[in-house]
Amino acid sequence: MKRFIIIMIAILLSQSIFCGVLYDFAYQFMKQKKVPEQHAKLMASVLEEESKKIPSSIDPLYILAFGMCETGFVNTFGDNGKAVGYFQLHENAVIYVANFYEDVREFKRNNRIHSDLIKYPDWQLRIAYRYIYLILKNVHNWDIVQAIAAYNGRKDRYNQYTVNFFRYYSDIVKMYTNYLTLYANKK
């Protein structure tokens, strides 16, 4: 119960982000994970930007947890080259998101070869963020556990991937609340 309360408080705090705090936290988090500086800056900026566009049902810290679950924040190819980048996006996920967002459609038109997505960490994060939102809303009827499992191509709700996701998420929430405390004390 205590963990649930901590997570709920963190979600509420993350939805009332002080200007730039999410960016700063995400940037520092990714740098700690050895993400190249330019990629960390791009993705932190997009995370903050998308957190203002995507409904609050998707905590931006989820996206950091997906990056940890999928690759440990390594920009790589997986699934025999079919999954691309930090968030291991398959082409069908990109096309699905493009059906709902004009900017992603335009990006896809200009970058027809799926493997080229590896060069665009900002678009990887943007698409991953929107993808989890869309499958949560349109496919899994707001069942976050099922949506998390589905992100990894799983049909079973409870599996090692969801366990890992929530472990990473819990750790990230703790780091973020500590970061917010330090930030508040500096003001």
Q: Spell out the per-residue pLDDT of the chain, length 187, in tens.
A: 666 555 545 444 444 444 589 999 999 999 999 999 999 999 999 999 999 999 888 999 999 999 999 999 999 999 999 999 999 999 999 999 999 999 999 999 999 999 999 999 999 999 999 999 999 999 999 999 999 999 999 888 899 999 999 999 999 999 999 999 988 887 6
Residue 94's identity, in one-letter code, is V
Residue 52's identity, in one-letter code, is K
Q: Which residues sit opposite 78 in a β-bridge?
A: 83
How far is CA 110 from each of CA 56, 70, 103, 104, rounded to the nearest angstrom?
30, 26, 11, 10
- The answer to whether position 187 is within a domain reads no
pTM of the entire structure?
A: 0.88
Rounded Cα gap, residues 151 and 148, in angstroms: 5
Report the domain count for the chain: 1
Give CA angle at 81 (79, 83), nearest 5°. 60
Q: Which residues sit opposite 136 in a β-bridge?
A: none
- The answer to whether position 185 is within a domain reads no
- The answer to whether position 78 is within a domain reads yes
CATH number for the domain that contains residue 25: 1.10.530
Q: Which range marks the domain in which residue 22 is found?
A: 2-178
Q: Give per-residue burial for 133-166: e unless 16+ CB within 10 Å, then b.
A: bbbbeeebeeebebbbbbbbeeeeeeeebbebbb
- The answer to whether position 24 is within a domain reads yes
